[in-house]
């Protein structure tokens, strides 16, 4: 990102080009190249009125201005956006959009910075009537903040900042051992490489990467567990000298160099719960070099109908309490149907016998190296099964696995839901 000028009342960005969208078929275009004056976009405020001016030079008369208060900014592509102004229709009194400008950016970072600045000037200056203080650009609201309510985010980071929770994860020896094998047995992928541990927690995966010969490991952790990770690293200096803990959200932190490998444990219940996968994908887009590796590489969600009479009776019996007709003189049976439905609306999180499945499973594949963040916002999995036996279906069994596609060893780890 290049900010050419920044003061208490203005902020300026360099652009690749911009084109005015005129009401007629004609239009004017400004371009920036090595032989011409750079095209710029400048935000400025005067008595609470914020103006966005597009021009070739600071005081050029050949410029286009819009008022941020009545303007909207839309993305047309990774490097192109359109800014349109809103006016009131004289005949109808309704708001409508007039002509505007299309803006071409030089790279994704500058596009993101410009959009962040636009929203901040609109919010901080226009809506609240305040100027950006001390020439500082207020940080753009992170994607993590957009996807999780503040109260939920606070609880999330508090939970993962506790040693008790980290101990529970470390004592999952199948999980920990599989990660260890995936890293150590694929030492060729890690040796001499820069690694980023996304959501590092205690830093255990960072230690594995260091053991495999990583050149350096950046352990990114947003919760208070980052401080515990630093203590653990200080207590293991032979490995810790290769590890740097960076406290912050992966959506916001900056790293001194790109990563050759991302490693993470981003799986929630049925793979996608807790929305850590989105952060994993964001880290890929922000930090990973082209054709870099991701551990894990692919996740698969599996589903199949099952029949389990014993489990059905066990859950149904929990609602028997509401079949009492004389509970201290009160008939509870009017609530039995609701209680019965409530118990069966909750998932049973447990292991299950695969012999209970009554049809071949369907699978939904998530390739972490290619999937887009927005593809994780809503996942639709069509359910269509052909039963292999004639029986009563009691529910849908769900489980998932993740694959580590290493240079030497291909490792698969299963997780059940029930």
Q: Which of 20, 252, 274, 373 is catalytic?
A: 274
Q: What share of the chain is helix, strand, coil (3-state, %, to 5)?
A: 30, 30, 35
What phi, psi does 220 have (nearest 5°)?
A: -100, 120
Q: Give the tokens for residue 46.
A: 């005067």
What whole-number distance in Å separates Cα of residue 312 and Cα of residue 107? Answer: 57
Residue 370 known to be catalytic:
no
Question: Which of 241, 265, 370, 374 is the catalytic position?
Answer: 265
Which distant-in-sequence residues (6+ apart) come within 8 Å of 16 by Cβ?
Answer: 31, 32, 39, 79, 104, 105, 106
274 is catalytic: yes
**In sequence order, what DSSP letters do the residues of 230-276 get, joined into one string?**
HHHHHT-HHHHTTEEEEES-TTT---SS-EEEEEE---BTTBTGGGH
Residue 396 CA to its chain's centroid (Å):
28
What does the alpha-carbon distance between residue 198 and residue 204 come to, in Å, rounded to a whole number? Answer: 12
Sheet containing 243-247: order of strands: 243-247, 216-221, 194-198, 259-264, 288-295
Helix axes 150-160, 163-170, angle to 10 degrees: 60
What is the DSSP secondary structure assignment for residue 278, as one 8-state letter? H
Beta bridge partners of 30: 18
Distance of CA 366 to the CA centre of its chain: 14
Coil, helix or strand at residue 84 = strand
Just list the catalytic residues.
Answer: 265, 274
């Amino acid at each position: 990102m290049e900010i050419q000028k920044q003061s208490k009342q203005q902020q300026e960005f360099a652009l690749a080009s911009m084109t005015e969208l005129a009401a007629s078929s004609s239009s004017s275009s400004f371009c920036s190249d090595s032989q011409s004056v750079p095209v710029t976009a400048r935000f400025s405020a005067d008595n609470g009125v914020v103006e966005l001016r597009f021009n070739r030079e600071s005081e050029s008369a050949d410029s286009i201005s819009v008022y941020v208060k009545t303007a909207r900014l839309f993305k047309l592509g990774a490097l192109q956006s359109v800014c349109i102004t809103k006016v009131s229709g004289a005949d109808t009194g309704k708001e409508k959009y007039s002509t505007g400008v299309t803006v071409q950016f030089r790279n994704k970072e500058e596009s993101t910075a410009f959009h962040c600045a636009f929203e901040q000037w609109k919010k901080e200056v226009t809506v609240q009537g305040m100027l950006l203080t001390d020439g500082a650009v207020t940080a753009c609201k992170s994607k993590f903040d957009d996807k999780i309510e503040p109260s939920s985010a606070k609880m999330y980071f508090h939970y993962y900042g506790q040693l008790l929770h980290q101990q529970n994860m470390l004592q999952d020896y199948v999980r920990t051992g599989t990660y260890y094998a995936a890293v150590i047995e694929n030492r060729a992928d890690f040796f001499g490489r820069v690694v980023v541990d996304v959501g590092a927690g205690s830093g255990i995966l960072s230690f594995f990467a260091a053991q495999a010969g990583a050149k350096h490991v950046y352990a990114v952790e947003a919760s208070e567990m980052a401080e515990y990770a630093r203590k653990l690293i200080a207590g293991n200096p032979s490995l810790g000298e290769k590890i740097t803990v960076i406290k912050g959200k992966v959506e916001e932190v900056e790293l001194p160099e790109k990563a050759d490998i991302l490693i993470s444990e981003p799986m929630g219940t049925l793979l996608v719960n807790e929305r850590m996968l989105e952060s994993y994908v964001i880290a890929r887009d922000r930090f990973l070099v082209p054709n870099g590796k991701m551990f894990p590489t692919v996740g698969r969600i599996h589903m199949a109908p099952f029949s389990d009479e014993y489990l059905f009776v066990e859950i149904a019996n929990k609602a028997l309490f509401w079949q009492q007709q004389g509970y201290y003189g009160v008939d509870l049976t009017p609530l039995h149907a609701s209680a019965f439905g409530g118990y069966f609306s909750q998932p049973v999180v447990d292991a299950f016998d695969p012999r209970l499945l009554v049809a071949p499973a369907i699978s939904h594949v998530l390739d972490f190296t290619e999937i887009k963040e927005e593809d994780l916002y809503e996942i639709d999995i069509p359910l269509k099964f052909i039963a292999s036996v004639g029986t009563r279906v009691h529910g849908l069994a769900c489980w998932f696995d993740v694959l580590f596609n290493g240079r030497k060893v291909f490792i698969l780890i299963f997780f059940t839901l029930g």
